[in-house]
Structure formats: structure tokens, C-alpha cells
Amino acid sequence: MERRVLTLSLLAGAAMAAGSAPAAGQPAPERKGVLAGLPSPPGPTIGKIKALGDNEWLNLGPPAPDPKWGKARGRSWSAKMPYAGDLGGAFLNGQGVHGYIKPDGYFMDDIWFYDLNGHRWICLYPGTDTRSFVENIKKGELKVNDDGQLVDKEGQPVPFSAIAGHSYQAHTYDPDLRKYVFAGGGGGIGNEQHVRDQEWCKKGRELLAQQGKADKVAGAPYYFNTVTGNFERPPLGAGFGGVLFYLPGKKALWAYAGGGVTLLADPATHKRADAGAKGPTPQGIDFGACYDPKRDRICVGGGSYRGPYGKDEGFVYIYDPKTNAWSNPPNKEHAMRWPGANYCCVHYDAAADRVLCLFGWCMDPKNRGISAYDPEAGAWDAPLPIPAEVVSHCVHGFYSPEVNAHFIYTAGDSDDRGTMWVYRYKRGTLPGSAKEESRR
């Protein structure tokens, strides 16, 4: 398959983005807050994206900045961007350089949404203002509620250090409740290991501790309600571990915490339990993973600190919620290992019916490439190279079935000079969209 690279220059102030249709059986909600108006009408980039051929790359350039908070920065070990089809975009979360304070004085615990068709950033949370953190506590702008968590003066949860270091695979989108779910930092307010000894954080923690409220939510996940525009953090539940996905068939949150532990949680009650799954499980941490909606399965591979691969039958582990069991199919020709979550984006490609691992950043150039796994046959397509222009220190990505394209945001660690690339593996035909595909 011949590889082609296209470049698209964007005008400032590009039109806003379009999204996909609402979830089946649900009316389009009237959203409030920063995501009001989404999904929005198609912008000028969409025609270029839809025109992509097989194995073709398109450089969209830097996304338009948020009018108030600017651009999203690159961040290491945070390759997964959970995609929300009803919003027409994906979420970006996770720290960059440990304990990094941005030039504007905000801690890099910020949270972003990429509006696909508008090719722009929307800031959900700008991060913690380190310059006024102590003063805001003294004024009552920040306080501890009866659950022992940090809230603003209106009582809304504040996701201060919600991601403890990096986001890995520990965030997802629930299209039924229309909520973005992300891991909650453990250890209490302000105890994130990379900032807890910084003077602004130490003084703030001391003041908050004087309020004498016991922490009832340590480790619990946060939710961003995309309809109300508010953060939520109920006092039930607990953290999930390194890999988190939503299973629409079970209407449940699924997590793999490593060490053989598979978890299931009810998004409505926020209670979780060990699923008691059987079969061989991935070892190590920092996994590359994706959800296969056609088969309602999770594919997991790669990882760091896992030792030799001698005990593996193959490089891919598969969890099937219907049987509550893991399997590890043997490798076939062209099989390639999936590296850890800093070096690859793993997506299910609906048009090609393949799990794509776009990997190789920060690695030996001869090992960079696109590995395509056929989940039906357990086979592998011949690997394809990644163009040198796309290689970057940090990568973040998602796949949009609506436009049949993979989006890869490349940027340096904690650097806001990022570029959005778009890749199409094969044109294919998406289920139920043969007429649309034939018009492209």
C-alpha cells in the first residue's frame, strides 16, 4: 500500500465542528457550559479528511486555540483520547513533565476537548491556579465539603490533580450517561506526588486540613457531565487502574488494574467489584488497548516492566464480557508487539475491521510502523511505515468512524506547539453506510 502525505493550511477562526448523531434512541440534549452547541456544523477540514485514500496522511496543522485558555499541550504516557461520537470529538487529559507549572502559573492538571470538524481546542478545566491557590482557600473560593473533597464556592467538585501523573488508558466516555470518566488521584487533596512539596500546594493543604473534613472519596473517579457542563464526584466507588473502557452491552465501566485483576463498575451507583474473570491476563503496566464494538471485546497489548514475552502465546490479549474471560491467541505472520502507552495509539478501525497500533515514537526508527491486527482471524496485515514527519516525542489519538480516520496529535512534553495529523488505513465501507462511502 503506497503511503501519501497531504498538508492542509487552515485559516484562523475556522468554522466549528460537526459531530455524529445522538446515541440510539436518545434525543439530542441541550448542552450547557463550554460544550454548548455541540455537535456543531461541518468545518472546512471535513472534505479534505473524507477525501483521504488508503494509507494516506493529512497534516491539519495546529488546532485553533481556546479563546481564553489557548492550546492543549503535549503530555507523556497519555496517548489515549476517549472519543465521543455524539459530541464530535475527543478528550485529552494527563500531566506532562511531572509537576509542571505552565507559564501562566497554572498547574498542568488541565483537561481539554478536541472539536473534530472545527479543528479547535475547548478547555474543560484550565488547571489549578498555583498563584492564587492559597488566597482562594482563605477567601472561601475553594473549600472542603462534607465528603472531604475540594469544591468551589458553588459546591462543584474541582478536579485538582485528578490524574496522578499521566492518564495512560485510565479514562473513557460513557455515551449513555453522556459523561467523560477519568481516574481520581489517591492520597487526598493535593497529595499528588509531583506537587505536594511545592510551597503553594503545601500551604494550601495545611489550610484545607484545618477544616477537619474526613476524605470519603479518596481514589474515586471524576465525571464531567457533557450536558450540564459540570464536574461530578460521588462519594461512592474507587479508582480503576491503568485501563478503563465503557462496555455499552453491559452498560458498565470495565477496568484492568494489572496483576490479573479485572473490574466492573456500575456508572449509576459507582460501585465496582472484581469481575472474577478467567484466562491469561496481560502483565506489566502502561498497556496499549482499545474497545472492539463489532465483537464487544477489549483488546490489550504491550506494556512496560513486564519481563520477557516467553509466557505469551501472542502479543494481544482479548477480554470477552459475554464469557467474562481472557484469551491470548497465538501470533501469526507479521505479528508485532505493542509498546507501552507513551509510544503508541491503539484504535479499532471500523471500516477495515482491524485493530490498528500506530507506534514507534521515541523508539528506534526501524521499529516504527503501523501494525494492523485482524480480530476475526487472529491474523496480522503486513506492517506499514509511519512517515518521519509524524514522529514526535508525545502522541495522543483517537479514531472517528464517522469520517473513517485516525487523529494523531503530536507535541513535545508540556509543549503547546502541537500538530494534528489525520490518517486513513483503508477507505472500506462502514456498517450501514455503503451509500455514503460510495460518494466519498
Find where cell 487523529 sits. 407
> What are 184's three cell numbers?
481520581
Stated pTM of the model: 0.91
> What are 128's three cell numbers?
489549578
pLDDT tens, per residue, the chain with 440 residues: 544 454 333 222 222 233 344 444 567 789 999 999 999 899 999 999 999 999 999 999 999 999 999 999 999 889 999 999 999 999 999 988 999 999 999 999 999 999 999 999 999 999 999 999 999 999 999 999 999 999 999 999 999 988 878 898 999 999 999 999 998 766 678 888 889 999 999 999 999 999 999 888 888 899 999 999 999 998 766 667 789 999 999 999 999 977 888 999 988 888 888 999 999 998 888 888 999 999 999 999 867 766 554 466 888 999 999 999 999 999 999 988 887 777 889 999 999 999 999 986 666 666 688 999 999 999 999 999 988 888 777 889 999 999 999 999 999 899 999 999 999 999 987 665 544 444 43
Distance CA(410)–CA(56), nearest Å, equals 17
- Is residue 48 helix, strand or coil? helix
Q: Tell me, what's the pLDDT at 161?
A: 85
DSSP string, 87-126: TTEEEE---SSTT-B-TTSBBS--EEEEETTTTEEEEEE-
- Is residue 209 helix, strand or coil? helix
- 334-377 pLDDT, tens digit per residue, is 988 887 777 889 999 999 999 999 986 666 666 688 999 999 99
Is residue 405 within 8 Å of residue 422, measured between CB atoms?
A: yes
- 186-239 pLDDT, tens digit per residue, is 667 888 888 999 999 999 999 999 999 988 888 889 999 999 999 999 876 666
Distances (CA, A) of 277 to 153, 257, 265: 43, 12, 14
Measured in degrees and rounded to the nearest 5, phi and psi for residue 359 equal: -140, 165
